[in-house]
Amino acid sequence: FQNNKKLLDSLSICFLPSSNPYARLVDCLRASWLSGKTRPMEYRKEQLEALGRFLEERKEDILKALHEDLCKPPFEAEISEIALTKNEINNALNNLQHWMKDESVSKNLATQFDSAFIRKDPYGVVLIIGVYNLPINTILVPLVGAIAAGKSGSPSGLEQPVYMNDTIAVVTGDHEMTSKLLENRLDYIFFTGSTHVGKIIMAAAAEHLTPLTLELGGKSPCYVDKCCDFQNAANRIVWGKFFNAGQNCTAPDYVICTIETQERLMPFMQEEIFGPILPIITVQDLDEAIRFINCRERPLAIYAFSRNYKVVNQVLACTSSGGFCGNDTLMQLSLINLPFGGIGYSGFGKYHGKLSFDTFTNLRGCLSRCIGFESINTIRYPPYNDRNLALMTSALEIKRKGLCTLL
């Protein structure tokens, strides 16, 4: 997609020739990270603000490129690519100080005079692999989390300098380029794409035991109950199905309903659909619909339409998926504080909002002990005896709440 490529050339500064740069590129990023420059909160905020400026100052160029490359309507492009990404940036800027703070944890009797906390450390060098149908969103939204967490990053799909500095590098290319990138030792991989390619990415990550997030796809079902506003349901299902020309990993893939419901729903669907057919699968009742869903791989999203919230809640309670939305489609993606991600064949790992920060953060368990009070510690040193065992066990014990001990 040449127009997107030209536009996104302005994002990165650590550009190296395309002959075989990846080992040097990763070394460059690791050196930037090891220098400590990405860790201060002020630096992270500067990078996030620069990303926000890119979206603001180049908005018209982005919309034009998306239309020329993908024929994406400006309305849909601005919502899915720009607005949602800016929300992630603003949310990170608003909350970064709180997210970065050490988190105190409760202590036992043996550590009462000590400091115990969770330090939010960045993993290191992260590789973000986006996908063509949402080229801005699937690269920049994870990048927001990576920057907020203090990482150096290498998003695939972009190229060269202006807004970001040498802690962010961008490369473009095909699957061979990605394979070569994956041969390097990375600290975290974030992939959006198909289940088939996700397995390849995971196998490559296993070579270096690299942790990763896989945002994949699957077939997202949509149950329509007989007790339903069929016009509203048709509007919302069709909108969700054909938003972004249907190229959306959370779009409803098929409708499940009874024959009676199908007969009532079809007239509305025929009026609304101006594109490929949306499959409708008929079942006897809600229980059969749930069995049908559960006999297949767990999807990225499940949708349920009904005026009866007991029906919606039953679908929610009796199925498993990455996300769920009752009486609408796709709108769960508008809430950045809801986790987004799959389960099973639809992927693993969650992001959006604070979870994007958490995804790229190593929760480092820390205990800083007092150097004094050595007489207390002698009970754990040899020679061992029953008295010291009883004292040490008591000092480490966590008791259940609400239990009464009779003496």
Secondary structure element (H or E) that encloses residue 347, with its range:
strand 347-348
Cα 256 from Cα 295, distance rounded (Å): 14
CA distance 385 to 261: 74
Distant-in-sequence, close-in-space partners of 19: CB < 8 Å, separation ≥ 6: none
Q: Which residues pair with 364 in a beta bridge?
A: 119
Rg value, the chain, Cα = 26
Other beta carbons within 10 Å of 245: 15
Length of the chain: 407
Q: From the candidates 81, 88, 159, 215, which is the catalytic residue?
A: 215
From residue 318, alpha-carbon distances to 291, 306, 310, 311 in Å are: 9, 16, 12, 11
Query: Does residue 249 have an active-site annotation?
Result: yes
**What are the strands, taking DSSP E only, across 123-270?**
125-129, 152-156, 188-192, 212-215, 220-224, 252-258
Helix residue ranges per DSSP H, 21-58: 22-34, 41-57
Question: Residue for token digits 């079902």?
Answer: 221
Query: Which is catalytic among the residues 222, 228, 249, 325?
Result: 249
- Catalytic: 325? no
Pick left, alpha or beta for residue 30 (phi over 0 → left; psi -120 to 50 → alpha; otherwise beta). alpha
Residues annotated as catalytic (active site), given as ranges: 215, 249
